[in-house]
Structure 1
Amino acid sequence: MLLEVKGLSVNYGHIEAIRDISFGVAEGTITTLIGANGAGKTTTLKTLSGLRKVREGKVTFDGKDITDLSPERRVKLGISQSPEGRGCFPAMTVRENLDMGAYVRSDRKSAAYAQDLDRVYELFPRLKEREKQAAGSMSGGEQQMLAIGRALMARPKLILLDEPSMGLAPKLIQQIFSIITEINQQGTTVLLVEQNAAQALKRSHEAHILETGEIVRSGSGKELAGDPAVKAAYLGGDV
Structure 2
Amino acid sequence: MLLEVDGLCVNYGHIEAIRDISFGVEEGTITTLIGANGAGKTTTLKTISGLRKVRAGTIKFDGKDITNLPPFERVMMGLSQSPEGRGCFPGMTVLENLDMGAYVRKDRKTPAYRADLDRVFDLFPRLKEREKQAAGSMSGGEQQMLAIGRALMAKPRLVLLDEPSMGLAPKLIQQIFTIISEINSQGTTVLLVEQNAAQALKRSHHAHILETGEIVKSGTGAQLASDDSVKAAYLGGDV
Structure 1 position 172 matched with structure 2 position 172: yes
Residue identity in the other structure for 2:74: R
* Correspondence 1:76 to 2:76: yes
Amino acid in structure 1 at the alignment position of 2:46: K
Task: Render the CA deviation track for 1:43-81: whole Å, top value 9, x for unaligned.
Answer: 000000000000000000001000000000000000000
Gaps of 5+ in 2: none
Distance in 1 between residues matched to 2:67 and 2:82, nearest whole Å: 20
Deviation at 1:106, TM superposition (A): 1.1
The one-letter code of the counterpart of 1:231 is: K
Aligned counterparts of 1:166 and 1:108: Cα–Cα separation in 2: 32
In structure 1, the residue corresponding to 2:58 is in which secondary structure?
Answer: strand
Deviations 1:123-178 (A, max 9, x none): 00000000000000000000000000000000000000000000000000000000
Q: Does 1:146 align with 2:146?
A: yes
1:126 and 2:161 equivalent? no
Q: What percent of counterpart residues are identical?
A: 84
| Aligned partner letter, 2:95 | R
Counterpart of 1:190 in structure 2 is: 190
The RMSD of aligned alpha carbons is 0.2
Amino acid at match of 1:114: R
Q: Please tell me the residue identity of whatever aligns with 2:73.
A: R
Name the aligned partner's letter for residue 163 of structure 2. E
What amino acid sits opposite 1:232 in the alignment?
A
Tell me which stretches of 4 or more aligned residues in structure 1 moved more than 2 Å: none
Provide Cα deviations, 1:71-127, integer angstroms capped at 9, x if missing partner: 000000000000000000000000000000000011110010000000000000000
Residue 213 (structure 1) shift: 0.1
Partner AA of 1:51 in structure 2? L
SS in structure 2 at match of 1:43: helix
Residue in 2 that maps onto 1:110:
110
Report SS of the residue matched to 1:80. strand
| Distance in 2 of aligned mates of 1:163 and 1:200 | 10
The 3-state SS of whatever aligns with 1:116 is helix
Equivalent AA in structure 1 for residue 216 of structure 2: V
Q: For the residues of structure 1 that align with 2:23 and 2:137, how far apart are their CA atoms?
A: 39
| Length-normalised TM-score, structure 1 | 1.00
Q: What's the secondary structure of 1:215's corresponding residue?
A: strand
Partners of 2:168 and 2:229 in 1: how far apart? 27
Task: Report the equivalent of 1:36.
Answer: 36
Structure 2 matches for 1:46-57, cutoff 5 A? 46-57=46-57
Q: Which amino acid aligns with 1:107?
A: D
